[in-house]
Amino acid sequence: MVTHSQIIIFDPSLDVGFNDWTDQHVAQGFSWRPGSVAFGTLDEGGPHLVRLIVGAHDSNVAGARVIDVPFHVPPDGRIEVASIPSGQQLHVPPGTYQLRFEAFFAASDDALPVIALRFRPNDEPVFAVVVADSDLNPGPELLLTAQPALG
């Protein structure tokens, strides 16, 4: 269940997994710090179909919003995928990844919006807004730091 227009992927050993958002984070569609990334969703809230894919990225970019960020999975392989107020812990092989967030609008009125989280092993991951929908305006430089959310 997505709430507050965001989905968060983080290392569950962090004291605070969620990030604060500035106006610049909202404009670029994500808020990132080591061990935690929050992505802005296309829909404000409600049920979503979330797919976790580990391996190669599909060469076709089809999402309405596509964002790449570095993500390091800790040695125990645990990550959490969450939205406010709940999440689910999952296992991904430890290592450094290019994490691609792909958001799709619901295909029909009775379908769910889809989010794909693609973890591709990569020793030199980059930050990029690959596809920006009309709600994003990332500007010439991305903001690559965030603070943990307070209470």
11-23 per-position pLDDT tens digit: 999 999 999 999 9
Q: What does the pLDDT read at residue 85?
A: 73
Alpha carbon of residue 68 to chain centroid: 8
Q: Are 94 and 74 in contact (CB under 8 A)?
A: yes
Q: What does the pLDDT read at residue 56?
A: 73
80-107 per-position pLDDT tens digit: 999 877 788 999 999 999 999 999 988 8
Alpha carbon of residue 98 to chain centroid: 11
Instruction: Provide the 3-class DSSP secondary structure of residue 92.
Output: coil
Question: Percentage of residues in the chain with pLDDT exceeding 70?
Answer: 95
| Residue 150 reports pLDDT greater than 80 | yes
48-73 per-position pLDDT tens digit: 889 999 987 666 777 899 999 999 99
Distances (CA, A) of 118 to 51, 61, 92, 147: 8, 12, 11, 24
Q: Which of 150, 63, 57, 60 is closest to 106 using CA atoms? A: 63
Confidence of residue 47 (pLDDT cuts 50, 70, 90): confident
The fold of the 6-131 domain, in CATH, is Substrate Binding Domain Of DNAk; Chain A, domain 1 (2.60.34)
DSSP secondary structure string for all residues of 46-79:
B--EEEEEESPPPSS---SEEEEEEEEE-TT-EE
